[in-house]
Amino acid sequence: MPGCKFALKTLALLVCAAVLPAEAQDLYDRNLVVNGGAEAGPAAPSAEQSVSNLPGWRGYGGFTVTTYNPDGITMEDDGPADRGKQFFVGGRNSGRSYAEQVIALNGVTPGAKFHMTAFMGKNYGNQNPKDVKLTATFQDDRGQTIQETTIHGPDTAVDYGIPGGLQPRSISGYLLPNVTQVRVIIELTALNETNGSSLAADNIELVLTRDRLTGANILNNGNLEASPAASPVRGWNGHMDSLKVKDYSNPTSRWDLVTASPGPAARGKNYMHFDVGGDAGIQKRIWQTIEVTRSPYLAVIDAGQMRYRLEGWLGVAEGVEDEIKMRLVFQDGRTPAGTIGAVETATLKGQSGAPALRSVGVGGGAATLPAGTRRILVEILLTKRSTVVDDMFAYADEMSLVLTAPPQVTIEGVGNAANYVAGKVSAGEILVVYGTDFGPDQVAGYTISNGAFTTSAGETRVYFDDVPAPMLYSASGQLSCIVPYSVTGRQTTRVQAEFKGEKGNILTIPVSASVPGLFTLDQTGRNQLAALNSDYSLNGASRPAARGSIVMLFGTGEGPTTPSGSDGKLAVGVYPKPVANVTAQVGGRDAEVLYAGAAPDLVAGVIQINVRIPADAPLGNVPVVIKVGTETSQSGATLTIR
């Protein structure tokens, strides 16, 4: 019973995951950390008592939540401007104190930018908050570590405040291929302390964006528009007592810049304002660190082909000797990082006339990133030169760091279009392919000619052992194609992308007899399946399936078929079936498979599986898996049963 009423109109709904970029998922431009502000659960009566309910986190040791209060960190102490009533603290003396959570990143695009930040410091006492540590461990679907990054708390008493306070710390980077989850750990273990740990943290964030490593400004909040006026500067590290965001249109003293002040013509509403008092020689520093450990750019960097340009607008108050400058520091991949080299922009000192901003920059597009660079540190340094004990006023706005590299068509990773599982492919499998320098800026869809998908979309092609693959779409850095059936019987296949006639690297990938995946409605490979009930209605909460009824599932990765599949052909007339045996489980019960084969009117490579829901299947949202030969589809995909 293939379900012949199924038509191309329904194809757009059921296999949307294969024809829309995975970026459509809700993974970008929001904080992925659950309960990063410690507000979701109750607080302990004191920092020495643990809480058992820690929503989003699994806590260990004395890790706990407490409130901002006069006996610890107060609402007036340094900390996030948008803090709630509660924050995390190490708690009672019980050895290691930490909490962790695992965040699914199924379908995230390789090369996506991550920005991790937290406010860290101490509650009271003399502990050193540099022992506060926030780590993100990015892993593949087998739990193997792909990359890891860590930020530490403040280093000195001047930084973390007396008796207590929280300072912003952050780091940015770019995701390597095959990342499917991230383990976030906040460590609040006080070393050599006998009275417990008063190390503290709040507003923990991990945000993904679509920003690219090359061709655009990679600084976070370089124009200051992401920060509300009079608040700490988002995206930058530093001591907050001397650094604020100010509004050009709302000056509060004669030392402030105003809308008419000389400066960048395209400036926004805000600028960065430094107010530092003290003796001569005092230096203040703000900075941000950007990791560039991402293929294929490591080879580009180490070959001396990556260029950089750093620009900004800086200013110093009139008639003083104080100075401000910007600096780049290139670091290697060691822990702690070693310095490869440093480059400074022009140093500005006090000037006559009203406060103003002047343009400074280095690189100009011709400077080369040193070979071995894995991190870039961007600093703004302020130095008080005057012998008069007074305030030092300085300003910055519209800062940018742009990296450029020669175009290089590159495949970085591939995954099953239904569940994003990577590492191997099978004949006829629909894939999502990630990389660089291929595909148009706007999504280019498939073309059907003579009853088959063509092998080009948006001037982009993909070859498997020199055989062109049917294309479903292409976009900048991402495409979807169907593995040719010619890979059947091979141990590996050589995959290569082509854009506007230029071919790129060759990626060798193992070939499996099957790599089954089931399509889901939210395009994550998890949650509600893209499935039809026996009356061809879409299965879901509003239309659950009855026990004993038949549902139609849709997937890909079934491998070789009989008769042999035809690349890109729409299934009409004869419906090929997989060579391997197909079984199914619904809610942990074995389910009868009535049909497993090509889906009518859909492209070869989409498998339809009609299963009867067991009479004793559990009710509600229940897990469903299929098995093709020895390979099993993903966990976490569900049907709704009544």
pLDDT digits (tens, 9 = 90+) for 148-157: 999 998 876 6
DSSP state of 227: S
CA nearest neighbour of 572 among 610, 597, 598: 598
Model pLDDT, residue 472:
94
Query: In this model, does residue 638 exceed pLDDT 50?
Result: yes
Which contiguous run of DSSP H or E holds residue 375? Answer: strand 375-383
Is a pLDDT exceeding 80 seen at residue 392? Answer: no
pLDDT, residue 333, reads 85
Lowest mean pLDDT among 256-260, 460-464, 551-555: 256-260
Tell me the pLDDT band of 334, cut-offs 50, 70 and 90. confident
- Whether 253 and 366 have beta carbons less than 8 Å apart is answered as no
Peptide bond into 262 cis (omega under 30): no
Whether the per-residue pLDDT at 591 is higher than 90: the answer is yes
Tell me what pLDDT residue 50 has: 80
Q: What is the share, in percent, of the chain residues with pLDDT greater than 70? A: 89
**pLDDT tens-digit profile of 169-209?**
999 999 988 888 999 999 998 876 666 788 899 999 999 99
What mean pLDDT do residues 522-534 have? 88
Q: Taking 70 as the threshold, does the pLDDT of residue 402 lie above it?
A: yes
What percent of the chain is modeled with pLDDT above 90? 58
End-to-end CA distance of the chain: 23
Beta-strand relationship, 448-449 and 452-453 = antiparallel
pLDDT at 2: 47
pLDDT in tens, 474-518: 998 889 999 999 999 999 999 999 999 999 989 999 999 999 999
Nearest to 505 by CA among 299, 365, 349, 353: 299
pLDDT of residue 135: 97
The pLDDT tens digits of the residues spanning 32-59 come to 999 999 999 999 877 677 888 899 999 9
Measure the CA–CA gap between 557 and 607, rounded to whole angstroms. 8
Cβ within 8 Å of residue 315, ≥6 positions away: 257, 263, 324, 348, 351, 355, 356, 357, 358, 394, 395, 396
**Mean predicted confidence (pLDDT) in 253-274:** 89
pLDDT for the residue numbered 469: 97
Distance separating alpha carbons of residues 26 and 17, to the nearest angstrom: 13
Q: How far is CA 436 from CA 321, 404, 414, 471, 497, in A?
A: 48, 13, 13, 17, 10
- Locate tokens 């750093």: which residue? 310
pLDDT at 476: 87
